[in-house]
Amino acid sequence: MGRMITLGLIGALLGFTACASVPAPQASFHTSAPAGVTVVIGPESQGGAPVRITGGALGSAVVTGEAQPEAGGWRISLRRLDWFNNWANGWTQASFLLDGSLLARPSGAGGTLAVEAVPQLDVVDSASIRYFDTYVRGDRGQQEFSRRWNRIQAVCAGSPPLKPRAMERWLFPELYGYDKPPAPDHGRVTVQGFEWDTDYTKTHFAEPLRVLRNSGTLLRDYKESPGLWLLALNWKDLWK
């Protein structure tokens, strides 16, 4: 029969437990990073095993792949990331193709998870979007989501390291509060009844992104997919 190995990266060793769906005992290992992430390997079948990675900085995302046993551990090939996000008036679902690799090694009461090749989160395989009663699927869904993802990646690539609350304030101080008050005569533009600080935009955003912030496009990206911003901010740090 197969066996299931769970690497619980949640701050403490979970211990050995029985699992009704898997005949062999389930082994649990603690490792220090990435924090809050759980990696499940198994059950093993024909020399390999499915892999599922969840939690921590992944948020609602689920990373899956395949593992092969290797010299007291497992070599993991990451294949896919599935992501889902609700918002007040709809939802977004997307799947990315991955090509990264990890090495999991249990050791005594603990274990390690080493990154051999950082997975690149660039290829959108499919996406579906719901706006109120409108559903956008297929090629159009993939294209709309890809454009949003490209905008978010471009902004996050130029942002300082940010936590969720700080991210809101950095992106949209007009809504979430300035670190220091703007000058009384700062530049302004009003779009759909909302006033944007164009001086702040010029100071903090690269030129190709300024029109996206001043038009409200980035705010819509954030309101409809906040978890996607966190995923973009945390992705590379997650695999250090």
User: Structure pTM?
Assistant: 0.82
Q: What is the pLDDT along the chain (240 residues), one digit of tens a residue?
A: 444 444 544 333 333 333 334 333 233 454 555 667 788 887 777 767 888 888 888 888 999 999 888 887 889 999 999 999 998 999 999 999 999 999 887 665 556 778 898 899 989 999 999 999 999 999 999 999 999 999 999 999 888 887 777 889 999 999 999 988 899 999 999 998 889 999 999 999 999 999 999 999 999 999 999 899 989 988 877 887
In a domain, 31, yes or no: yes
Among 5, 235, 237, CA closest to 121: 235
- The H helix count followed by the E strand count for the chain is 7, 14
Dihedral of the alpha carbons of 147, 152, 154, 158, in degrees to the nearest 10: 170
> Which amino acid, 128?
S
Tens-place pLDDT, residues 48-76: 788 888 888 888 899 999 988 888 788 99
Residue 108 sits in which domain range? 5-131
On whether the CB atoms of residues 75 and 46 are closer than 8 A, the answer is no
What DSSP string runs through 27-52?
EEEE-SSSTTEEEEE---BTTBEEEE
In a domain, 39, yes or no: yes
In a domain, 42, yes or no: yes
Query: Cis ω on the peptide bond leading into residue 34 (within 30° of 0)?
Result: yes
In a domain, 238, yes or no: no
Tens-place pLDDT, residues 107-139: 655 567 788 988 999 899 999 999 999 999 999
In a domain, 213, yes or no: no
Note the Cα 40 to chain centre separation in Å: 18
In a domain, 32, yes or no: yes
In a domain, 198, yes or no: no
Specify the long-range contacts of residues 170-177, CB closer than 8 Å, at least 24 apart.
Answer: 170/204, 171/213, 171/218, 171/219, 171/222, 171/229, 172/218, 172/219, 172/222, 173/197, 173/200, 174/200, 175/219
Rounded to the nearest 5°, which phi and psi values hold at 182?
-75, 160
Q: How many structural domains compose the chain? A: 1
In a domain, 204, yes or no: no
